[in-house]
Amino acid sequence: MTAAAPAPISKAERSERAKRAFDHLAAPQDALVLFDDQFIFYYCGFAFFPTERPIGLIITREGERILFVPRLEREHAQQTSEAERVEAYPEFPGQRHPMLQLADLLTELGLETAHIGVDHDGYLSVMGYDGPPLSEVLPGARVSRVSRALDHQMALKSEAEVALIKESAYWGAQAHRLLQDYTRAGANETEVEARATKEATAAMIAALGDSYRGQNRWMSGAVALYRGQIGPNSALPHAMTTGATFQPGDTLVTGAGAAVWGYISELERTMFVGEASAEQRRFFQHMLNMQDIAFEALKPGATCASVDAAVRAYFEREQLWDHWRHHVGHSLGQRIHESPFLDIGDERVLEPGLVLSVEPGLYVPGLGGFRHSDTILITPSGMELLTDYPRDLASLTLS
Amino acid sequence: MTAAAPAPISKAERSERAKRAFDHLAAPQDALVLFDDQFIFYYCGFAFFPTERPIGLIITREGERILFVPRLEREHAQQTSEAERVEAYPEFPGQRHPMLQLADLLTELGLETAHIGVDHDGYLSVMGYDGPPLSEVLPGARVSRVSRALDHQMALKSEAEVALIKESAYWGAQAHRLLQDYTRAGANETEVEARATKEATAAMIAALGDSYRGQNRWMSGAVALYRGQIGPNSALPHAMTTGATFQPGDTLVTGAGAAVWGYISELERTMFVGEASAEQRRFFQHMLNMQDIAFEALKPGATCASVDAAVRAYFEREQLWDHWRHHVGHSLGQRIHESPFLDIGDERVLEPGLVLSVEPGLYVPGLGGFRHSDTILITPSGMELLTDYPRDLASLTLS
């Protein structure tokens, strides 16, 4: 663990984010209305379980934050968010659609004919929500999507954010160590994951103390898992769990991280159950070479695309295209995947403060997948590894 | 466990769903294009991890299903989905936006000027995706939102679906029994949840066999938890976990369920650490009375709104409005919350085959929350409880 547990993001930092959000926009806006739970947490610290009941955050030009929630979240929002004001509507669907009540609130704030930047034009949900776009219930306003600009703000991490991501990386590595220790031929994927995750989570909570909160949508505690990437099934980059039993000769692809005050990291390793075959060793070495090429290319001033292009050149040179499945990596920190992407189509320039996964992969049907993922920080002079775990073949061969 | 483990949804049933989807639409469509991972699973059985890389399912009027996926999901989709055809694009963002490639595919299918029903006009994501609406990349087509009609189809459960939900309810109750057994003053929320969940999951996997898959976005294995609803914090209906230690006198609100081939159930109970006080008993009894009122009102031909209204009349009669936070319940099965809702604003008529949670609640700041949730099936003559767990005070008082 780091010398002292890092502090959660301060109220001052979140308040500053809300004021600064307007600096990132291509066109001036009078206010922002955000529906995505991750933007809401980012700007006002409200961590909640999104459902079919719309929740929205209004940010005025002066940086005042007004959180619009269903009645059942009122006290929760008042107690745990940093919004200057909380307004509640009774229920969804309710007797009057919540979006109409949001339009009332915006009108009361003098924003009925304003320029309003939104992440989405209306509320989104995967739980039976149905309702009109904001532009329809507030027809006098000019509603524009600005999520790309806000993604850009979110991508540049502060010192406090990097400290939380490092803490996450530390606990992810602890969980991964346990996962590796408990994995052996004959053991069951689900049991090994559950044991490593439970023990690493308990150790993390004991170390970080009672005030610790995970506050992340994708991870809870300190986790390590396989997600079905075992043996031939590891040739599927996004396999789903199958409750497999480990077999001698299996190629394994892992994943580990931890949720610390809303922030996460990503650590993945390719491992082998028993001595790797010549073919496994060959693909493992190609994968290591490609990750080294990406590390070399990651520096301020380079583009995201150039990093992907450097790795693609290796695929070309070594005639490995049959085994290509995806780009080199993605930003992360609060969301498990954030923009920008280390992708040939992403021309954004790398800047100090970006945190990215570096995970070029090779996939061989019948044999398995070959992918390490590390989390790195772009620094003024190059990059810094935030994850710390062995990556060589000997260290990742299970006896 | 039920006498024999129920089978997953058959290929014939999913294929029939795709053909029948068109019967539910208010206006005729030539094809459907669906982006929501839950609709995609419902119509073609592809369970996947949604990211910033768009995935879409095209369903033609003839019921042919064409799954549009990123390269990294091609083999996964070919091996595990029931789509008649899988088409892959290289990557997002990539050199050409995936939505333009989807437009190419729709054009190739002769749909460039068709009437196309969509769940959303374009891909949605919470992971840094950015892209145009479908209506923009296919300007000759007439794109209409039909998600409400598809929600209606999804809400009416088949016998095979009800069997899976019952199996889920059985394992949810097993997990809840363990949660109750392990909860005592001085124990830690996170540890009790982890232990109950791990043991119930192991028992379920042992009983259902190696072929078992969870395939659910919200639950994994058989789970029981508190999600922070402990002591005064249980007065927040959607509290988040705090890693609390149980104290004598605490009011507790639980949650339990299990993922079985994509289907889930919901079981929640109000419990007390030690003898309940007079005030705790009073609110507990009101809550039981309200759940009984809802059970009485649930029958085919009644509206969703009428059930909520019956419970609201009790709030009025007993002067309990200060403690009201939400409507009576929601549909569920595949999604953790589905439409329709037992809400005063939902005029849909109850029909046999609907599966709903019944969970009127009372919330008392400083004291706690009072809510049982059971999962029920609307039958031709009334309703059937699918969850089976004691609901009386004595059974839920922890010594």
**pLDDT for res B4:** 73
Q: Which CATH superfamily is domain B156-398 in?
A: Creatinase/methionine aminopeptidase superfamily (3.90.230.10)
**pLDDT for res B1:** 47
**pLDDT for res B243:** 80
Report, as an integer, the average pLDDT of A319-331. Answer: 98
Nearest chain A Cα distance for residue B268, angstroms? 17
**pLDDT for res A3:** 57
Residue A2 has pLDDT above 70, yes or no: no
B contacts of A330 (beta carbons < 8 Å): 52, 128
Q: Best mutation site among B127, B136, B246, B268 for testing chain A: the one with the most A CBs within 10 Å?
A: B127
Q: What is the pTM of this model?
A: 0.95
Residue of A nearest to B76 (CA): A236
Q: Which CATH class is domain B11-154?
A: alpha beta
Residue of B nearest to A333 (CA): B127
Residue of B nearest to A38 (CA): B126
Asked if A238's CB is within 8 angstroms of B76's CB, the reply is yes
**pLDDT for res B299:** 97
The string of pLDDT tens digits covering residues A39-66 is: 999 999 999 999 999 999 999 999 999 9
Q: Where exactly does CATH 3.90.230.10 map onto chain B?
A: 156-398
Asked if B338's CB is within 8 angstroms of A128's CB, the reply is yes
Q: Where exactly does CATH 3.40.350.10 map onto chain A?
A: 11-154
**pLDDT for res B3:** 57
Nearest chain B Cα distance for residue A210, angstroms? 7
**pLDDT for res B211:** 85
Asked if B38's CB is within 8 angstroms of A336's CB, the reply is no
Task: Please count the residue pairs, one from chain A and one from chain B, whose beta carbons lie less than 8 angstroms apart.
Answer: 181
Partner-chain residue, chosen from A76, A221, A336, that has the shortest CB–CB distance to B238: A76
Asked if B235's CB is within 8 angstroms of A241's CB, the reply is no
Residue A241 has pLDDT above 90, yes or no: no
Question: Mean pLDDT in runs of 10 for chain B (399 residues)?
Answer: 78 98 94 97 96 97 97 96 98 97 98 97 88 96 95 97 98 98 94 91 90 91 94 92 90 98 98 98 98 98 98 98 98 97 97 98 97 98 98 97
Report, as an integer, the average pLDDT of A353-361. Answer: 98
Reported ipTM: the value is: 0.94
3-state secondary structure chain B: CCCCCCCCCCHHHHHHHHHHHHHHCCCCCCEEEECCHHHHHHHHCCCCCCCCCCCEEEEECCCCEEEEEEHHHHHHHHHHCCCCEEEEECCCCCCCCHHHHHHHHHHHCCCCCCEEEECCCCCCCCCCCCCCCHHHHCCCCEEEECHHHHHHHHHECCHHHHHHHHHHHHHHHHHHHHHHHHCCCCCEHHHHHHHHHHHHHHHHHHHHCCCCCCCCCCCCCEEEECCCCEHHHHHCCCCCCCCCECCCCCEEECEEEECECCECCCEECEEEECCCCHHHHHHHHHHHHHHHHHHHHCCCCCEHHHHHHHHHHHHHHCCCHHHCCCCCEEECCCCCCEEEEECCCCCCECCCCEEEEECCEEEECCCEEEECEEEEEECCCCEEECCCCCCCCHHHEEC
**pLDDT for res A209:** 87
Asked if B242's CB is within 8 angstroms of A345's CB, the reply is no
Asked if B324's CB is within 8 angstroms of A71's CB, the reply is yes
Report, as an integer, the average pLDDT of A126-131. Answer: 88
Asked if B130's CB is within 8 angstroms of A339's CB, the reply is yes
Q: What are phi and psi of B196, to 5 degrees?
A: -60, -45
Report, as an integer, the average pLDDT of A190-205. Answer: 90
Asked if A240's CB is within 8 angstroms of B48's CB, the reply is yes
